[in-house]
Amino acid sequence: MPDNYDIGLPEFDVIDRKESSSGDYVYVLKLKDELKEQYKTCPQCGARMHVHKKSVRKIRDLNERGHNVGLAIQAVRYRCSNKDCGYICSEEYPSIDSGKMTIRLRESIKEDAFLAPFKEVADKYALSVPTVALLFKEKADELRKEAEVYAPRVLGIDEVHLDRKYYGVFVDIERRSIIEITKSRSKATVKAYINSLPNKENIIAVTMDMWAQYRDAVHDTLPGVPVVIDKFHVIKELNAQMDAVRASISNDIREREARTALKNNRFLLLKGTENLTPLQVQKLRELLEKYPKFSDPYDMKEIFRAIYLSESRAEAEATYEEWVRILHDEKHLTCFDSFINTVNRWHTEIFNYFDYPYTNAQTESMNNRIREIDGAGRGYSFEVLRDKMVLRPYVARRSGAVDFSVLDEDD
């Protein structure tokens, strides 16, 4: 191999590289001569040191071009020549941890443990799952010390259901990142979290779904801060009502094939018209012609959705009142009455959206990600799942992901 071969471990000289029959690389290393100078004189009495014992220390390193890599370090142990002193020491290697791997390998495993399931990382590095979990905990402990605890300008509150239990999820809506997961979504838990935030007065709005305990917790801890129910949750409620209409009408149809067809094409009635393909629009038209009882409910569903095109709160509220009037006085429909009751109960929070147009949609996306990670890990403990989600951005940033939020500072 070439002279002065560099493998990125500055304290070593590479003596040789061997390749095993299985394709593994083994580098034979020794401490650089200039670094051995410090072991010539005893730091205790000043007498000369001599070689006490030589051994080969076997260490694992990062893979190289798909090959497993091992290091065979020609380690030396020294002893003071002064018999009255008897000082003994071993060579120190800053790139090697106290176990049997390089520090850079250890750090790579720690970061991978945040970004992939423990089992996958264990298989990749030929380690046990408990070892990976231990390294993950080490990394989590490190990151927790530097993780920023702050009150975001716009706080999102949601929940995720895992293993028959609800966990609270708190999101920085503007940064699109999870900032906390709690073991409960109760009013007391939400209040305790908000009160724990430094400078909570910086919060200008809170987005959430229609869960009264969240609203009450915000009113108690952030008086005067508007609660916003974004359109995602409102349309979700509207579609649930529309689907109930579909199910009710379908139950009156005797032909089994027709009922099955309606069930299979329910998405045509629930999806926004603008999100349908030309072929799907044609199928929807045919469905409404064949089953005219769907026409008025579908049209009223789409008219309500158009409220979110309003340019002001006043316009949105006026359009909503007109929608209710048409529904009852002209169409004589009562199928959306439950939805109307929900809107009326949450009127202020729903129409706050037009003054504070923030959406909780990314929170739903993050909840799906939580479920994926929990499923891939086959049921992590709450502490592991929490650390994977809350501390993950700090790992991603160190791993080469670019933080473009600095551009926002110029706005």
> Going by C-beta distance under 8 Å and a sequence separation of 6 or more, which residues neighbour residue 168?
157, 158, 159, 180, 181, 182, 183, 184, 185, 189, 190, 193
Q: Please name every residue paired with 169 in a beta bridge, in sequence order, or none if there are none.
A: 158, 181
- As a whole-number percent, the residues of the chain with pLDDT over 90 amount to 69
Q: What string of DSSP letters covers 32-86?
A: -HHHHGGGSB-TTT-PBEEEEEEEEEEEEEEEETTEEEEEEEEEEEEEES-TTT-
Neighbours of 344 (CB within 10 A): 11
pLDDT band, very low/low/confident/very high, at 408 (cuts 50, 70, 90):
low
Burial class (CB in 10 A: 0-12, 13-18, 19+), 20: exposed
C-alpha span between 113 and 106 (Å, rounded)? 11
Query: What is the per-residue pLDDT across 295-348, written as a single tens digit (0 to 9) for each?
Result: 999 999 999 999 999 999 999 999 999 999 999 999 999 999 999 999 999 999
Please state whether the predicted TM-score (pTM) of the whole model is above 0.85.
no
The amino acid at 346: W
Here the tokens at position 76 are 């030396």
Is residue 190's pLDDT more than 90? yes
What is the pLDDT confidence band of residue 198, given thresholds at 50, 70 and 90? very high
Pairing of strands 67-80, 88-90: antiparallel
Give the pLDDT score at 351: 97
pLDDT band (50, 70, 90) for residue 65: confident
Shortest CA distance to 110 belongs to which of 157, 74, 142? 142
Per DSSP, the three-state class of 160 is strand
Q: Comparing 114-128, 223-237, 362-376, which segment has the lowest mean pLDDT?
A: 362-376
At residue 2 the predicted structure's pLDDT band, cuts being 50, 70 and 90, is low
pLDDT in tens, 244-259: 988 888 887 777 777 7
Helix (H/G/I), strand (E/B), else coil: 147? coil
Residue 398 has pLDDT above 70, yes or no: no
* In contact, 329 and 285? CB cutoff 8 Å: no
Structure token pair of residue 385: 């799942």
Rounded to whole angstroms, how far apart are CA atoms 4 and 15? 9
Give, for 154, the enclosing helix (H) or strand (E).
strand 154-162
CA 12, chain centre distance (Å) = 39
Q: What is the pLDDT of residue 264?
A: 76
Residue 66 has pLDDT above 90, yes or no: no
Q: What percent of the chain has pLDDT over 70?
A: 95
* pLDDT above 80 for 25: yes
Which residues does 130 contact at the CB level (< 8 Å), separation at least 6?
none
Query: Which segments of 197-312 does DSSP mark as H helices, in order?
Result: 212-221, 231-251, 256-264, 266-270, 278-290, 295-305
What is 327-384 written as a DSSP string?
A: IIIIS---TTHHHHHHHHHTHHHHHGGGTS----HHHHHHHHHHHHHHHHTTS--HHH
Confidence of residue 405 (pLDDT cuts 50, 70, 90): low
What residues contact 104, with CB distance under 8 A and at least 6 apart? 8, 61, 62, 95
Closest CA to 27 of 53, 46, 42, 8: 8
> Residue 98: is its pLDDT beyond 90?
no
Whether the per-residue pLDDT at 407 is higher than 80: the answer is: no
Kindly write down the DSSP assignment for every residue of 162-215, as one continuous string.
ETTEEEEEEEETTTTEEEEEES--SHHHHHHHHHHSTTGGG--EEEE-S-HHHH
The pLDDT value recorded for residue 4 is 58
Confidence of residue 164 (pLDDT cuts 50, 70, 90): confident
